[in-house]
A and B are shown apart, each in its own frame.
Chain A
Amino acid sequence: MPLLRAKDVVKSFARRRVLDGVSLEVNEAEVVGIVGPNGAGKTTLIRVLLGLLRRDSGIVELMGRDPFRDPRARRGVGVVFERPVMPSGLTVVEFLEYAASILGVPASRVDWAIRASGLEGHEHKFFNQLSAGLKQRAALAHALLAKPRLVVADEPTSNLDPVERVRILDTISELARGEGVAFLLTSHVLHEIVRVADRVVVLYSGRVVASGSIDEVSSMIGRIVRIRTPIPDRLAEHLRASSFMAEVRGLSVIVRLGEGGAGELLRALADIVDSIQVYDIDFVEAGLEEVLGRVGEAA
């Protein structure tokens, strides 16, 4: 039985349909990433899946129970919200001790959660004194208190600098691989999700427009190459004439490789290298826009 199952979930706010027939599953020890642009419905979906918002229709089963009607569904589920918050009048460790008491877990769990989330040395500070990254770690420690089989994290890396983003993702990855905790993550940055997730669900305008394993999504997008040149329009025109999908972005040309791979591209470039200067060629991680572009083409 999956830890979390959603089928045909629909949710509207004032006649605006925010979730339109969303279905997904999260199984034991699996990391599932929901990726989508701002306004795709990720946060609403997370709230519906946790039973914090009522849904208009569809089925949600968290630990085999409907979380909106039965709060026991949230036992063994840790939650990290996009905007982490804790009471301002307590230090982090004081609040975590209260939270452990609320959850009915031993106080010794607090020390473990602080260590596992990398919050050591900062637990005696007030929440508002923490940096954005440490706040996210405090929220992760809070989520781990419940001895969770599943952690639901809504944009856990938003508002963080690139270094802290990587650290948080590494911590999540360690917890998933080392402790066997399943994660459901959301992000609008595809390569972050790809870094930690086993499966990806692409949400756009409240609909699941693509889903599958990392390999499936990667093969759907294809490999992306960025070529920097002073005359990108001419280069793009030449590559299109050679049957490549080329798009101009600033002083770069973005090329999606076909079945011929990099060799075919290099051969095409060799033909014009005398007439068009090329500064640099590099492989880039596919972004959400590439996924949505492919979905659009497929449709």
Chain B
Amino acid sequence: MSERQPRLAPLVMVDSADSLKAPTFDFMLLVVSAIAAALASIEPTTNPASVADAALDPAVVFAVSLYLAMRASSGLASLASSGLLQLYLSYPLGRVGVALALYLSRILLPVLVLVGAPLIVAAAIVPHVIASAPLAYLEAYGAYVVYLTFLGTLFGLVGVATKNSGTSAVAGLAIYFLYEGVYLLLNVMATARGSYTLHKVAMAMTFYSVVSLKLSSPGVPVSAWQLLLVPGLLVALFIVYLVYMRWRFEPP
């Protein structure tokens, strides 16, 4: 049999097999999220985006955020401290390729599964509502994925920078609650001052809220920057992650 080029896809698979298992991956979170989505979807609505919101916001978003802060970040950190990352980097694959594979297996894939399962269950509960505008439902799903991937990327960056699972979990939680604190503060200030701009900034911080508003209330104006803030930050963080892994990361 002839020799082939080294490949990244099996690395994604092998690391996914490691990351998508207990205790790294919390199947109870998946089951509870799906049940919560089923219960939350049993309410009269004709809008697919509202079904997605009912299924995910706030319980699933909160739970998945905490999961990412604690498990995804510490998963990447323990990958570094255990020596597995060093093993992966010893393959004849580029550092960017390895970083990309780990991003898929440790951040994107868990987000897709944890957000996807409740949405599939919700769609099964109210199929007629989803069938009326499936693309809008997918768009709402995508917004949650983008928001949670943004948080996951932030926590993942903390994980590879600290190289310590305990520190990264604590730092991830601290960053998450800081982000939520800023969101809350902006909302309070917006209400106190009657500032619509501050309210828009706060809403932009939770990207899925802006997308949901756009989908469910087409008459309400949504600014382009509101739609670009979190995706822009996600792209920026993703580039920082790749650059850090390419040039600065050294196995402990």
Contacts and interface: CB of A to CB of B under 8 A. Distances in A.
A99 B14 CA distance: 8
B6 A108 contact: no
A141 to B, nearest CB: 13
Interface stretch (B48-56, B80-88, B193-201): B80-88
Given A87-B18, A89-B18, A104-B3, A52 B89 contact: yes
Given A54-B250, A104-B3, A89 B92 contact: no
Interface in B5-22: 5-8, 10-11, 13-15, 17-18, 21
B14 A98 contact: yes
Nearest to A82: B83
A101 interface: yes
Interface in A126-173: 142, 146-147
B1 interface: yes
Which bracket fits the contact residues of A?
20 to 34
Interface in A88-113: 88-90, 95, 98-99, 101-106, 108
Nearest to A73: B92
B83 A53 contact: no
A14 to B, nearest CB: 12
Contact of A95 (B4, B5, B14, B247): B14
* Residue in B4, B14, B82, B83 whose Cβ sees the most chain A Cβ within 10 Å: B14
A103 B4 CA distance: 8
26 contacts: A47-B251, A52-B250, A54-B247, A54-B250, A71-B91, A72-B92, A74-B92, A75-B6, A79-B87, A81-B83, A81-B90, A85-B83, A85-B84, A85-B87, A87-B15, A89-B17, A90-B17, A95-B14, A98-B11, A99-B10, A99-B91, A102-B6, A102-B10, A103-B91, A106-B1, A108-B1
